[in-house]
A = this chain, B = another copy of it.
């Protein structure tokens, strides 16, 4: 089984690439792929998500409504885009990556529903809207999350044409979502700062191990799924894995910074809550400025990992730069 927690990223020493002002993700990505521009991809992804979330005589209407509420709300669609852009960077058509793009979004959406529950982070607001258990009820929120997880695997197993690719995709996504990935990271995160060792260096390592699973595992597997769908070779998958680990970590550092400093209206959820809950965060351990520098170094590492990939890795480069500038 894949390992997620062992941090393999040193603090990068590379000079930070100046973030591009051009934040259009796919401006140089079309290259003949009909889904190579942003609106076409968003439209195709939405369609894929809705097909998988369609009503059916066996599916209770209220359950499907809660699942669609969670999945179809506003969101950056970061993980589906990583699947699509990785597939494209490895020479596949984005169209062929849509089922995996939908599957990672289902896992992401389920994990947010469960994280927001009263027994967990107890949040009322997510992406500017009531959380699922506030909009519906707690039982339905638990069950909608459960159903989304099953749906993720059903989507991979039934909608990826090649059974070898489907089986491998299920194995990778399950490992990223399971006790050694997403769920394991959430368990250690909930345990809070008290469960961490007292020395700053060890606390930082502890925090990185949490985020390697809670955030980076799903981001990394998104890239790996895209590459696997494109039948990429192992060195390419390894490069995309390093890119994923780096942007995953950077994403979490900026998330902590937003929680510490962000504007609630822009972020779309309550801010300042990590400190209230005694959670370990990068700003609390490193300070704000060093956290910003760390995020920038991670993005430089990410960009470096893409060096030998073909020209159509530009959307991945652009996306890495955007993480530094995010405000939500």
Q: Residues of A at under 8 Å CB distance from B? A: 1, 3-6, 56-60, 62-64, 67, 110-111, 114, 117, 119-120, 137-140, 142-143, 145-147, 149-151, 153-154, 156-158, 163-164, 166-168, 170-171, 173-175, 177-184, 186-188, 190-191, 213
Contacts and interface: CB of A to CB of B under 8 A. Distances in A.
B167 A154 contact: no
Nearest to A173: B153
A57 B185 CA distance: 12
Nearest to A5: B58
A163 B167 contact: yes
A85 B59 CA distance: 30
Nearest to A164: B163
Given A114-B142, A163-B167, A163-B168, A62 B187 contact: yes
B146 A120 contact: no
Protomer copies: 2
Contacts of A60: 179, 184, 187-188, 191
Contact of A154 (B1, B163, B166): B1
Contacts of A57: 3, 5-6
Contacts of A163: 163-164, 166-168
B178 A150 contact: yes
B63 A147 contact: no
Contact of A167 (B140, B167, B173): B167
A189 B197 CA distance: 45
A190 B137 CA distance: 12
Contacts of A175: 150, 154
A153 B176 CA distance: 11
Contact of A149 (B4, B146, B166): B146
Contacts of A67: 179
A150 B170 contact: no
B142 A63 contact: no
A138 to B, nearest CB: 4
A56 B181 CA distance: 11
A157 B178 contact: no
